[in-house]
Structure 1
Amino acid sequence: MSETIRRLADSSSYMVLQDKIAALKDGYTLNTCDTNLGHICELIELTSKIQNQLFTAMSLTASEGGTYGGVDTLKSRLLPWLGTSFMTSGGAVTSDTSLTLLKVGNILLFGHYNRLQFLKSKHDNDVTQLEAELNETKEELDLTRDDLRLAKEAAARYKRQLDLVGDFEHEVEHLKGEIRLLRSERDILESRVCDYERPLPPPSSPPTHAELTNSIRHSRLVARFNDLYAVDRLDMQDRLRRFVDDDEMVKRIIFIAVCEAFHVAKMAYRSFRLRARKLLSPIHSGPTTLEEAVTDYIVRNLDLYDVERSVEDVIRAMNVNPKISFPPECEFVLLSPFIREVCLVAYRMQALEPPLDIPLATDGELMNESRYRRSYDSEFTAPLVAYHIWPALVEDGTVLIKGECTTRRGAVS
């Protein structure tokens, strides 16, 4: 039910209208002309309001029926009544005709007519648009058919090429099989030939001087390294204690001198080996290899080593080492004899096969029982090395002679 109809029923507008008409009838003869006209105008206004509500209810009710709801009823009932009430003789309006009724009826009629025209125009536009889309879809379908035809032709062409590739692969496999067969026949023939003609073993090259003396030089250098630790080191400690009161600093100076001497000697050996290879490569000939000839040349000419220059390099490196220091009135030149002996031993150890070397050592590292033994003044339960006294001697990663170090708790590098 429309809300307008509900409000119209609840307001009892027709009962009020009837009461006012009855009051006008009873007092018509008693009232003046202006008073009666005023009552009549009031009745017309009330009737116009009621008709306005009725036309609103009619419009809402027609909209509930859809786009064309109530059209037949309006044509058969409302329009003929409007025509007979409005088109009177002489163009006059009767007393029962309401100006509001005529206005609203015409608005409603033209509104429905305009709406029908709009819907018809929209329908025509939709049909035209659909026809255009249909034509466009047909064109796209034709293009798709052409693409499909081209794709089928390309697929057929690729299939023919694939068949050719398959034929080539079969031919390649056949040729590979023939090659394998020929190789097997060749191996059989070569094995038969080898049974009749066995090659003589190549003549072995005679041992060089370096190879013949390697074991003797090895044992002498190991013994000399022990003497450096047991004799030369202690003599140098006694000499240094005359100038340095700190016993730990004395041991650090000797250890760093040994490490720097080994480093400088290895660099000198590598440089001399490069010069020897450059010298011998143009004139080398014989059963031995070039490397064997170079090693033999170095062993025969160990006295060509410039040990004094190495001593200067070691002292120069010790002067810039932040871990050691000397009193102002003394210099590291005091260690020159000891450094000279260590450089000679380190240089000759590089000429062995395999060479002997000392491992890298840093303060604060974990104590390695396989490389070092603790000094008498160490804390034997401490895991860290406070400082090193003497390096270990290793050969291909194997420790030949243990070094010595001092362990302390809380030692840091």
Structure 2
Amino acid sequence: MVTQCSFFFSLFRNMSSKSLWNEVTCSLCVKYFIDPVTLGCRHSFCMPCLCLYWEEGQQPPRCPVCKGTPHQLSLKTNIILKTRVFLARRTGPYDVPRSAEKMCELHGKTKNLFCKVTKEVLCLVCHMSAEHGAHTHCSVEWTAEEYRQSLLMIMRSVWEKIQENKRNLNRETNKIRTWEILYRLSYKGSLKHRLEKIEEESREIFQQLKESQYNMDLKQKLLKQIYEELKELCYKPDMELIQVRTEAWRLHMPRPVVPQLSAWPIPGLIDWLNQFQAYVALDNERVTHCVPVFEDLRCLLAVPDGPGVNYSSPRYKYFLAWGAESFTSGRCYWEVDVAGCCNWAIGFCNDSWTRDSDMVLDSEGVFLLLCIRENNQCSVFTASPLSPQYVKRPLGRVGVFLDFDSGVLSFVNVANSSLICSFLSCSFSSPLKPFMCSGHS
């Protein structure tokens, strides 16, 4: 091992300063690599530098040098390059100024050993003294490298928090954009004596969303500042770095607001709807592991993650079917029990959509209420167009009422006789078939 190290040290001393400098430094920060990663185009960068570059740049992420698109974003540390950087730090008087050697005032020898018990830098004679003889010691170089690795682990945790907060901030902003307009439309058909209470509740939730957005924006700036400071610590010379006392970072993340309007029971609603109850015979029943409508929804909800973060959707087994009969006029009402389902879709669609294997959400003639599990939270949406519905997720039977001639389609929570949402003033230009889909993990 000693012979191998001597060989590498000799090799590095014989290389030209410029050649070695180009090989072991990042073109973004122009300093020694920390946690080096290499893209498919063979250009290498510090992982933190690349993360920040991609965070502030345009999508999709590209190589900062050749502007090529990486084959994958889940990057791994280049161990060979990391070893070269470690050796270069020991032999080359390059980017950062090397710490002046500290001399032991008592023995007149260089202090190059670190006591892990007392956290002191010692000379060779001091470390064998009675005071330190039983302690664990390590060279300053290896201790500094351990500190850098510890800092990098903290940085990875901070980066994950940055991405988590970014996703939450984007979602909170989207909620704010749709909140006021959405609920004026959704509750347009509500009774007058309930409108005042609904609007008051909506204003309170809107204010909560604005405060949440403000707090998340502040947290995002703070997290990036912490990340930059940790990155700069990694660049410090060895002797300075080992004097730094890293503390446990407790990052309290602001939680997203989960807006939810109260359910307002409508006395006699279910009895009135039952007079239009229709028997729905199902056709084209099948079980599958992939329903495009849910994959489409997940893609719309997912926020692009940073490098090193792997997003994969959970696997579900879906049952889906269309009604055998199409409706072209009149009124009809039917119910579906969604108890135990975390992903489901209920409603009406036209004949062409049932024959379309893509089943995209923005198709015309699709009127669905959907529930989807995302990040251990179930959310309710309508399509099309895709709109979030901030109501409590139904846990039992959901009723579907179609008034074809009036252009109205409503969904109700049967358990508490309340309205979930309505499609109003629709133009049903083609026959509609009942559609249902349920998924279990």
Greater RCO structure (CA 8 Å; 6+ sep):
2
Query: Which has more radius of gyration?
Result: 1
| Structure 1 or 2: more helix by fraction | 1
**Which TM-score tier does this pair reach, normalised by the shorter chain?**
under 0.3
| Structure 1 or 2: more strand by fraction | 2
Question: When the two structures are superposed, what TM-score results if normalisation uses the length of structure 1?
Answer: 0.19
